[in-house]
Structure 1
Amino acid sequence: ASFAAEHCKSTPVAMGIPQKTTRTKTRRRLRDLDQIAEDLKSPKHLQEHKGMKAAEDLPGLGQFYCIECAKWFESEHSMVTHRKGSTHKRRVKALKEEPYTQREAEAAIGQRSPDNGPRLAAKENTRDMEVEMENSGLLEEDALAT
């Protein structure tokens, strides 16, 4: 039996090399775009996130943090270098788009009609009022009077 097969019985093995476990992948996972957008809007939300980790455990004792990328840095120089890089610029560009709302998600799967703005809503309201008037007989009285 190979070392990988004996050593890592609980993890999947491909061609004799142990694969990364879910725990490792979860540990390295960054914050989602909607969470970062909330951090940018609300300083309180950002402080809650920063307060979850002890400063002693963070790189640079938690002094250098890139909000857009949700990443800690050892020094100011490494953070400045990061901000000039393409990964940071890509993340900033992605954050410029508004995050999806629950209403948009429901409309995408067909549970709710899309919100097309105030013009469409106003048209629907006038149609609803006409239907109500027809049902109550008010439109017929108006037609007879003219």
Structure 2
Amino acid sequence: MGRIARKKQHKGDKPLKEKYRTKRKTKDLDQIHVDMRPENSERLLNQDVDLDKAGAGQFYCLHCAKYCISKAALESHFRSKPHKRRIKALQIEPYTQEEAERAAGMGSYMAPKKVKVQTQPSKDATESTGLMDT
């Protein structure tokens, strides 16, 4: 065994720290499905001004649970790969207790259903369409 092989045997607790790191922890998919309900989404998309949040809390991505600093940043986030991945992950119906019981052998298997998820419309687009209808 050479000097290099002997030296790299002890990793310490660094892999554990990286595994359980919660600094950039985001909402889970089932929590976002709850936020996507009409009564919750209306409240989240039309928040009061809060200077402690990025962009004063006015530019919020509902699907990623992320605040952006400006409208341009939000629009570029909608075109980004992480946002598109999150949209695709949200298209599968969240797990329920009934599905867990079926997996444990207390019922027959049913494939998860698809949920139609689209990127939220921007505030200016909804306001301009409202003006065109009148």
TM-score, length basis structure 1: 0.54
CA shift in 2, pair 1:56/1:20, >3 Å: farther
Aligned residues of 1:104 and 1:114 also touching (Cα < 8 A): no
CA shift in 2, pair 1:84/1:45, >3 Å: closer
One-letter amino acid matched to 2:84 = K
Q: How does 1:54-133 map to 2 (within 5 A)?
A: 55-110=50-105, 112-114=106-108
Match of 2:35 in 1: 39
CA shift in 2, pair 1:82/1:105, >3 Å: same
Identical aligned residues as a percent: 39
Quote the offset at 1:74 in angstroms. Answer: 0.5
TM-score, length basis structure 2: 0.59
Root mean square deviation of aligned Cα: 3.2
Structure 1 gap segments, 5+ residues each: 1-11, 117-146
Select the structure with the greater relative contact order (CA < 8 A; seq sep ≥ 6): 2
Structure 2 gap segments, 5+ residues each: 1-11, 111-134
Aligned residues of 2:34 and 2:40 also touching (Cα < 8 A): no
Mapped to 1, the partners of 2:19 and 2:92 lie a distance apart of: 33
CA shift in 2, pair 1:36/1:76, >3 Å: same
Determine helix, strand or coil for the equivalent of 2:22: helix
Deviations 1:33-65 (A, max 9, x none): 1111111124237737x97xx822110110000
CA shift in 2, pair 1:99/1:46, >3 Å: farther
Q: Which protein is bigger by CA-based radius of gyration? A: 1
Mapped to 1, the partners of 2:79 and 2:95 lie a distance apart of: 28
Mapped to 2, the partners of 1:109 and 1:21 lie a distance apart of: 28
